[in-house]
Structure 1
Amino acid sequence: MAFGLSFRAGVVSLLLLAALLLVWQGATSGFGGSSSSLPAGMDPEYAKLMGLTATSGKSAVPSPVEIGAQLVTLLSDPFYDKGPNDKGLGIQLGYSLGRVLLGYAFAVLLAIPLGFLIGMSPLMSRALDPFIQVLKPISPLAWMPLALYTIKDSNTSAIFVIFICSVWPMLINTAFGVAGVRKEWLNVARTLEVGPLKRAFTIILPAAAPTILTGMRISIGIAWLVIVAAEMLVGGTGIGYFVWNEWNNLSITNVIIAILVIGVTGMALDQILAAVARLVTFPE
């Protein structure tokens, strides 16, 4: 039954994608357009920036066919390096993934132990809650100027921003999952004189793992979203910088390709953690 539903959902998704691509192709092909020139005195590059072409009815937005052809070109040599402003898509993606995974790893090392402490101790939960509620709503990018001023390194600052935005969902979900472990299980452990450390690893962690993984999935999505914006600000390398650099070059095709790569990569990161979550989820 589940397989049948998944298959039907996949077919519907493919049909929707095909319909979207057909509409997109038709909208950018200039059906029924008539030839006309640009307004007098308008620079062609400015016209391209404004979405105007020399042929009315034909959009300056690239078609799916054009994007596909350019994607093949980019993927044919994704790791070339011709200088600071001309690196392959694979290199740029690698820089972004490296920053995200490093900042995310630091967040895991802080958020999960601290979440355990908050979840197991009502005193610490009440004591730390005001700090969490004040720091949690702050936009991650608001930390960037302070990070650049104090750290004085754009790469490390971007990692710090990833760290600070990844902490809160993991911390809150870990604390919630730990606090929500069934009291009967904990009472049995106390009756059997199971020590606190062993109780944490053999009872609390397995019971709270699905909730913790949910927080980790939320965090990785936020981290991947934020790194793109952060790299646009700090520049240098990364998929976010690639988007900004291609926009400055008026290469809308490459911008759209980068957007698709960002989306697919984010989905892949989420699905990896979703698979891990399924492994640690058991029916009671």
Structure 2
Amino acid sequence: MTTKANSIVKPLSAVGMPAAMDKTLLRFKSLGDSFVQKVLPALIVGFILMLIWELLSSSQGATLPSPSKVVKDTWELIINPFYNNGGTDVGMGWQILASLERVAYGYSLAVIVGISLGVLVGQSTWAMRGLDPIFQILRTVPPLAWLPISLAAFQDSSPSAIFVIFITAIWPIIINTSVGVRNIPEDYRNVAKVLSLNGYEYFTKVMLPAAAPYIFTGLRIGIGLSWLAIVAAEMLIGGVGIGFFIWDAWNASMISDIVLALVYVGVVGFLLDKFIGFISSLVTRGTSN
């Protein structure tokens, strides 16, 4: 009886194992192809740029530190990003988190207000005629130009920085949302009328899904502008934050610290953009880029 059972189990295992191995191999092959196509070119170009930078910085009369010197000078900052000696003497991790906290507040407000105003402008011809010219004028004001006004209004640096982020990020969100709402296919509107959808149902089942690719385009632009704005604003308002860290390092002639901070700024900005892009792909099922 045992021999017969084993003779049945072995063929089944022989059939199942190759199929599982094939799936595993396909997954590894897919990961390998993705690495070669997307990651490897960036690594090669980055290595070449680092090599050129190293050679140029090692030449006589060079004023900027080489990559090897940057790593040597900032090694303690790299390996211990969360030290805290009190005041503004904290690690790069805390500096980044402080900046991200301000971005989170300002950007969240911009998303709520921007989408709401974008829907209003996209739906109403009168709102578009009345508000669009004002939006077009205000959006051309440089972000830092708002800082003195916000400091005068709030009398505090933190809410002033949040306001600068808000006023910087809101314009692409408003504009792209309004364009998305105006471009809803007429067939969708007709179906909504036939089904007698109320305002809430039309908003959640027709308007938002149809305009989502446009909205997320505005959100991706907005998050990038938010990160740019806070780094610049923190140079002026002071306190804990990556922007003030860069300015403080400049005043102390610590160029290597500035270079390291710029690397952190670039990486965080890249990750923020990819995060919004990932959420966009989930919500729109890959229909937006």
* TM-score computed with the length of structure 2 as normaliser: 0.84
How many residues of Structure 1 are paired with residues of Structure 2 in the alignment? 258
Q: How many Å apart are 1:9 and its aligned residue?
A: 4.0
The alignment's C-alpha RMSD in Å is 2.0
Structure 1 equivalent of residue 204 of structure 2: 201
- Corresponding residue for 1:7? 36
Return the offset for 1:222.
0.5
SS of equivalent residue, structure 2 residue 271: helix
| Structure 1 position 16 matched with structure 2 position 19 | no
Separation in 1, partners of 2:101, 2:211: 28
The residue aligned with 1:128 is 131
> 1:70 deviation in Å?
4.1
**Residue identity opposite 2:179 in structure 1:** F
Separation (CA, whole Å) in 1 of partners of 2:73 and 2:189: 58
Looking at structure 2, the residues matched to 168 and 141 of structure 1 have their Cα atoms a distance apart, in angstroms, of 15
Structure 2: distance between partners of 1:169 and 1:261: 25
Q: Which amino acid aligns with 1:117?
A: L
Q: Give the corresponding residue for 2:276.
A: 273
- CA deviation map 1:187-221 (0-9, x unaligned): 01101111121011011101111110110000110
Which of structure 1's runs of 4+ aligned residues deviate more than 6 A? Answer: none
How far apart are 1:234 and its partner, in Å?
0.8
Gaps of 5+ in 2: 1-29
- 1:59 maps onto 2:62 in alignment: yes
The aligned counterpart of 2:145 is 142
Q: 1:175 aligns with which of 175, 178, 191?
A: 178
Secondary structure at the counterpart of residue 280 of structure 1: helix
Q: CA deviation at 1:134?
A: 1.9
SS in 1 for 2:200: helix
SS at 2:140's partner residue? coil
Q: TM-score, normalization: structure 1?
A: 0.85
Find out whether 1:243 has 2:246 as its counterpart.
Answer: yes
What is residue 82 of structure 1 aligned with on the other side? 85
Q: Residue by residue, what CA displacement relative to the aligned partner does 1:236-283 show, whole Å, maximum 9, x if unpaired? A: 221000000011111110000001100000000000001111123345
Could you tell me which runs of 5 or more consecutive residues in structure 1 were left unpaired when the two chains were aligned. 31-56
- Displacement of 1:11 in angstroms is 2.1
Find the aligned partners of 1:74 and 1:26 in 2 and give their Cα distance.
24
Distance 2:192 2:173 in 1: 26
Q: Cα 1:5–1:82, aligned 2, differ >3 Å: closer, same or farther?
A: closer
Higher Cα Rg, which structure? 2
* In the alignment, structure 1 residue 154 sits paired with structure 2 residue 157: yes
Deviations 1:27-60 (A, max 9, x none): 2234xxxxxxxxxxxxxxxxxxxxxxxxxx1634
Identity among equivalent positions (%) equals 41
* Residue aligning to 1:222: 225
